[in-house]
Amino acid sequence: MCQKFKVSRRSFENSFRKYFGNSPAAYFKKMKLMKIRHDILNLKDRQISSVLVKFENLHISHFGQFYKRYFGESMSQTLKSR
């Protein structure tokens, strides 16, 4: 994106942070968390793995920690609460 818009990485990150309130990496991690939560809440087969398989390069143990920190519950707790 930096090359496309002919800006430095630092300039892009600063502008992104100013507009969205987060770094690009943090923003996209949050979007991924929200998408996974949405998919878990709408599961038909009650298999969390069927949601997670859609996301490439996802380290489930690390991501599970982020999920719990962000939502205050584990993915399995989200599934049980729906």
Q: 46 in a domain, yes or no?
A: yes
Total count of domains within the chain: 1
Gyration radius of the chain's alpha carbons: 16
Full-model pTM: 0.70
Return the H-helix or E-strand segment holding 82. none
Q: 2 in a domain, yes or no?
A: no
Q: 1 in a domain, yes or no?
A: no
Q: 76 in a domain, yes or no?
A: yes
CA distance 36 to 12: 27
pLDDT at residue 57, as a whole number: 64
Q: What would the pLDDT profile of 30-46 be if each residue is shown by its tens digit?
A: 888 898 899 888 887 77
Distance of CA 45 to the CA centre of its chain: 22
Whole domain around residue 48: which residue ranges? 8-81
Q: 45 in a domain, yes or no?
A: yes
